Amino acid sequence: MADFGEVRMKKFLRIREVQLFSGLSRSQIYSLVAKGEFPRQVKVSEKASAWLLSELEAWMQNRVAGRIVSPGDWHESSQAN
């Protein structure tokens, strides 16, 4: 039986899916790739490139882990309005 968790981690995403996943524009993605600040794409065929979902998830986790919350930053209240 296939391990679907493992299959999910090895999924390829094309540029439009990467844009939706990251919230970044196409030009921002390629600029960050060029600076070494975003995962590099993988050549999947002669004319197609894609990103590994697992690398994108790790990038996102690192961005969240590295954030600094200042006292004036927005945060959710523990009380409902």
User: pLDDT by residue for the chain (81 residues), tens digit each?
Assistant: 455 555 555 899 999 999 999 999 999 999 999 999 999 999 999 999 999 999 999 999 999 988 877 666 666 655 555
Residue 9 pLDDT: 52
| pLDDT of amino acid 5 | 57
CB count in 10 Å sphere of residue 22: 19
**Is residue 38 domain-resident?**
yes
Give the number of domains in the chain: 1
Residue 29 and residue 38 in contact, taking contact as beta carbons nearer than 8 Å: yes
CB 18 within 8 A of CB 52: no
Dist CA 81 CA 73 (whole Å): 19
Instruction: Report the C-alpha gap between 45 and 7 in whole angstroms.
Output: 20
Tell me, yes or no, whether 13 lies in a domain. Answer: yes
| Domain contains 33 | yes
Tell me, yes or no, if the pTM score tops 0.75: no
Residue 78 lies in a domain: no
State residue 59's pLDDT score.
95
Give residue 1's pLDDT. Answer: 47
